[in-house]
Amino acid sequence: MLLIFTEFQTGNSIAINPSNVVCVFVGKDPKSQADATFINMVNGNLAVTEEYLTVVGCINGLLR
């Protein structure tokens, strides 16, 4: 099952495979310097608009 999040810069939907997530963290978006939630995947980072606990909760719910 894929999880749907909102990409930080474009506002477009993005679907991720939760089994490829390495970690989740909050940081600064490099372009806007605004706080964003980052999903670190095996092939790079994705910045999303959802709150940290929402992202972690969604991922944990599917991986258990």
- Hey, where are the domains in the chain? 3-63
- β-strands 13-16, 3-6 pairing: antiparallel
Provide, rounded to the nearest whole percent, the portion of the chain with pLDDT above 70: 95
3-63 maps to which CATH number?
Answer: 2.40.50
CA distance 25 to 47: 10
CA distance 32 to 63: 32
Spatial CB neighbours of 48, under 8 Å, sequence gap ≥ 6: 5, 6, 7, 8, 14, 36, 37, 38, 39, 55
- pLDDT reading at 32 higher than 80: yes
CA distance 31 to 2: 27
pTM over 0.85: yes
